[in-house]
Structure 1
Amino acid sequence: MSWSGFGRLGGIAVAMLVGASGAEVSATPLTPFRYEAQAQRHCPHDQVVWLDFRKGIYYGKGQKRYGQGFDGSFVCLREARDSSFRRSLLGLR
Structure 2
Amino acid sequence: MYQFEANENRRDMRLYFYSCSVTFFALILCTPQSTMAQTLAPFRYEAQAQRHCPVDTVVWLDFRSGRYYLKGQRRYASGHTGSFVCRNEARDSGYRRSLLGLR
Q: CA deviation at 1:56?
A: 0.3
- In structure 2, runs of 5+ residues without a counterpart are 1-26
- Partner of 2:50, secondary structure, is helix
- In structure 2, the partner of 1:71 is 81
- In structure 1, runs of 5+ residues without a counterpart are 1-20
Out of 70, 87, 91, which is 2:97 matched to? 87
- Identity level (%): 68
Q: How many residues align?
A: 73
- In structure 2, the partner of 1:46 is 56
Which has the larger Rg?
2
Q: CA deviation at 1:27?
A: 2.1
Out of 39, 46, 58, which is 1:36 matched to? 46
- In structure 2, the partner of 1:26 is 36
Report the TM-score, using the length of structure 1 for normalisation: 0.73
Structure with greater proportional helix content = 2
RMSD (CA atoms): 1.6
